[in-house]
Amino acid sequence: MTPHGDRPYTPRQNELLDHALALVRDGGFPALTTKRLAERVGFTEAAIYRHFPSKQALILGLMDRIGTMLLEPVGEIAQDEGLCVAERLRRIVRHHTEIIRAHKGLPILLLAEASVSNDEALIGRMRSIFRGYLSVLERLIRQGQAGGDLVPTPSPDALALMLVGPPAALAIRLRLLPDVEAEDRFGETLVPFLVDALRSGEGKDGP
């Protein structure tokens, strides 16, 4: 895993990010302090700062971790030409949903932290991840529309936003009103429904 524009993280940095991820997942950003992280891994706070010189650097690392979890599999799914476009989109949205569930809506927390802090580095990193995700969706949708598999309108960028929105809403619900059964229904019924709504009449006859 490589931070945006920098050298790869060291094994020790990755270990710290694993623990930081767990702290934020379970307690939100107030739980992420160098004191708590140091206690969790058995380090001194000074040792934490040798690997991450500031809390901002640690949060940037978390953003990189989530970005890698999202974008690497999404890129692989998008390139799988053995699957029709609709199935690739379905798998991408399901993967997005699984990340949100596994990490209790952490992407939403990261976005909120970046917005509240008004930190340009954090905002820029989130913007880069979001842009990368949207571009993959838009390319696939454009391909499906050109091949007649997906409805020709709205535009690819509008349809991409339609697919991003429900997982984001799920993340908000998960943080505020956790409900395992509702989360299961989202993956089992809503994700297929969303993608099927994009398919043209001709595309619905396919696999």
For residue 91, what is the domain's CATH number?
A: 1.10.357.10
Residue 34: inside a domain: no
What total of structural domains would you count in the chain?
A: 1
Alpha-carbon distance of 71 to 129, in angstroms, equals 8
Residue 20 has pLDDT above 80, yes or no: yes
Residue 173: inside a domain: yes
Confidence of residue 10 (pLDDT cuts 50, 70, 90): very high
User: What pLDDT, on a 0 to 100 scale, did the predictor assign at position 5?
Assistant: 47
Mean pLDDT of 46-70: 92
Domain that holds residue 106: 62-205
Nearest to 126 by CA among 141, 109, 104: 109
Residue 117 has pLDDT above 80, yes or no: no
Contacts of 137 (CB under 8 A, 6+ apart): 89, 92, 156, 159, 160, 163, 164
Residue 146 has pLDDT above 80, yes or no: yes
By CB atoms closer than 10 A (0-12, 13-18, 19+), residue 132 is middle
Residue 26 has pLDDT above 50, yes or no: yes
Most confident of 22-31, 107-116, 137-146: 137-146
Nearest to 97 by CA among 189, 173, 171, 5: 171
pTM: 0.87
User: What pLDDT, on a 0 to 100 scale, did the predictor assign at position 6?
Assistant: 61
Residue 106: inside a domain: yes
Mean pLDDT, rounded, of the chain:
88
Residue 20: inside a domain: no
Confidence of residue 50 (pLDDT cuts 50, 70, 90): very high
Residue 83: inside a domain: yes
User: Which residue has better confidence, 203 or 164?
Assistant: 164
